[in-house]
Amino acid sequence: MLGILFVALSNVFKVLSPRVLSWAIDMVSQNINLYGSFEGFQLQEVLKSSLKQSLLIFCLIYFATALIGGVFTFLMRQSMIVMSRLIEFDLKNEIYQHYQRLETAFFKRNNTGDLMNRATEDVSKVRMYLGPALMYLVNVFFLFTFVIYTMLSINVSLTLWVLLPMPILTISIFYINNLIHERSEAIQQQLSILTSNAQEFYSGIRVLKSYVQERLALRTYERASENYKEKALSLAHVEAFFFPLMVLLVGLSTIIVVIVGGNYVEKGLITPGNLVEFIMYVNLLTWPVTSIGWAASLVQSAAASQKRINEFLKTKSAIPTSVGKSIQLNGNIQFQHMNFVYPDTGIEALKDINLDIKSGEKWAIMGRTGSGKSSLAELILGMYYPSEGNLKIEGERIQDIQLTKLRQQIGYIPQDVFLFSDTIYNNIKFGNSKLTDEEAEEAAKKASIYDEIMEFPQGFNTLVGERGVTLSGGQKQRISIARALAIQPKLLLFDDALSAVDVHTEKRIVANLNASIKDKTVLIISHRIFSSVNFDNIIILDNGRVVEQGKHEELLNLGGIYAEFYEKQHFEQKD
């Protein structure tokens, strides 16, 4: 509101300046004849000095109006552009916060690039509308009102003549702006193809080089680059056309003022000062008229962007995380006739699961690839809700539990290990930033990774990931285990967490772990049999169903999938 007031005030002064100039010119032109007629009289000198004085006063007034107008223009930008930046800030935070609340399924449905684009590109387009576009539109409105009102009060027909080319100007600018908009959009798209192209080549550089496909990569890049160049050139053509056209049309208005207005001065309909004033008004209108087309295309793209943003903002999380009963986890988990179907694909991942896991028990979950093991883990974390039947934790249905609280008490080691581009310390402390260095080191010892970390020159302060050292698969897995152990969870969920270490290291880790997991409930998902852990129960999943369960010996005697696993592993180890 304040911004709009400033816009109005700044325009009052913009219109005032030509007025002042017009008065000054008229004063001079009227007095010049008078001065001539006093030729040879004493009075001529008096007139000259008073004329000089009045001119000086006009100069000062002119300067003052320009200055005050400038101050209001500054305040206008300060209030409106700053306001748009603040809204941008809020909007970005709102989107980010909203993303955080959405369930995993949402992130599997939408790709990362799209998510990021909506939080950055689209938001900045909306800001362009709220800030510059709105400011210019309000500005145009006031300027037009004031200028046209003043012009009409001087001479109606000259005003109409001056405004004649304006609609053509606005329409053609709008048209050209659309062209520019379209082409810059195409450039943006091509640019993101180009960057993702390069990014993929660089991240896959090892595969690329080992298959000797550098030349192919170069050619693909060249083609994309060529395409980009063409699009950029086509934009440059339009822009090259744009400016001269604008100057031409504005020039046309000026010419009309000079011809028609000159005629009017001759007839005594307007003063010479008015003529100058009119020319100044025409120039004053030029830029705002140009900005109408520009602002209109900004409004269009902002509308499209806001639609895209709303699409995500309006998606409700199917799985609320911050409401529900806050439970103290002890490790009692029950599955009762539970079925689970992936909502997006309709794949039946788990069928009729009945399990009763008691606090402190150690369970192994095994099965062939794709049998539903990871899905089971994600259900316990509340990433998905069961489709049918029940999953109860501490006797409460998972749907009634406050998930943030639940997840804080679970140490989960996902199948695809993820480390952040940060120090090893911070990666291990990720689950709880209050952890001390000693606690992190303790967790690393339990995960049998301590010695290896200490061998790095910077030890626990070594940066990992993109900006730092590349760790081996097994090292990453064990840091991930340390991260889970560090938060002292009641329940540990290992999803294939030891797949990347050799049998020897595995034995060492399990022996180490055995001591630290005594009082915890532990679920170990694996392809391998850990003979060194005395599991309370081992379940075998096949095609989403529990097909075998029991203790090691029982399962061996059963002669089913477990026995088959055992046979194979035994055979390999002998190898």
Ligand X SMILES: Nc1ncnc2c1ncn2[C@@H]1O[C@H](COP(=O)(O)OP(=O)(O)OP(=O)(O)O)[C@@H](O)[C@H]1O
Instruction: Out of 328, 369, 433, 470, point to the residue binding ligand X (CB under 6 A).
Output: 369
Eight-state DSSP code of residue 294 = H
Query: How many Å from the N-terminal Cα to the C-terminal Cα in the chain?
Result: 81
Q: Which residue is nearest to ligand X (CB)?
A: 374
Query: Concatenated DSSP letters for 3-42?
Result: HHHHHHHHHHHHHHHHHHHHHHHHHHHHHHHHHHHTTTST
Rounded-to-integer distance, Cα 294 and Cα 176, Å: 9
Q: Does 385 bind ligand X (CB under 6 A)?
A: no
Rounded-to-integer distance, Cα 96 and Cα 98, Å: 5
Q: State the nearest-atom distance from the C-beta of 540 to ligand X, in Å.
A: 11
Rounded-to-integer distance, Cα 541 and Cα 376, Å: 10
Q: Does 549 bind ligand X (CB under 6 A)?
A: no
Give the x-and-dash track for 77-116 against ligand X (CB under 6 A).
-------------------------------x--------
Q: State the nearest-atom distance from the C-beta of 499 to ligand X, in Å.
A: 9
* 3 state DSSP class of 120: coil
Among 28-36, 270-278, 373-381, 505-513, the segment contacting ligand X (CB under 6 A): 373-381
Q: State the nearest-atom distance from the C-beta of 343 to ligand X, in Å.
A: 8
Total of residues contacting Mg ion (CB under 5 A): 2
Among 119-127, 142-150, 205-213, 372-380, the segment contacting ligand X (CB under 6 A): 372-380
Total of residues contacting ligand X (CB under 6 A): 15
Q: Are 420 and 341 in contact (CB under 8 A)?
A: no
Q: State the nearest-atom distance from the C-beta of 415 to Mg ion, in Å.
A: 5
Among Mg ion, ligand X, none, partner that 97 touches (CB below 5 to 8 angstroms by kind): none
Eight-state DSSP code of residue 422 = S
Q: Does 374 bind Mg ion (CB under 5 A)?
A: yes
Q: Does 349 bind ligand X (CB under 6 A)?
A: yes
- Which class for 317: exposed (0-12), middle (13-18), buried (19 or more C-beta within 10 A)? middle
Q: State the nearest-atom distance from the C-beta of 561 to ligand X, in Å.
A: 13
Question: What is the rounded radius of gyration, in angstroms, for the C-alpha atoms of the chain?
Answer: 38
Q: Which of residues 405-434 bind Mg ion (CB under 5 A)?
A: 415
Q: Which two tokens stand for residue 157?
A: 């027909």
Q: Does 342 bind ligand X (CB under 6 A)?
A: yes
Q: State the nearest-atom distance from the C-beta of 373 to ligand X, in Å.
A: 3
Q: Are 535 and 364 in contact (CB under 8 A)?
A: yes
Q: Does 374 bind ligand X (CB under 6 A)?
A: yes
Query: Concatenated DSSP letters for 415-461?
Result: SS----SSBHHHHHGGG-TT--HHHHHHHHHHTT-HHHHHHSTTGGG
Rounded-to-integer distance, Cα 150 and Cα 280, Å: 12
Q: State the nearest-atom distance from the C-beta of 403 to ligand X, in Å.
A: 18
Which residues in this chain contact ligand X in the complex, by CB under 6 A?
108, 342, 344-345, 347, 349, 367, 369-375, 415
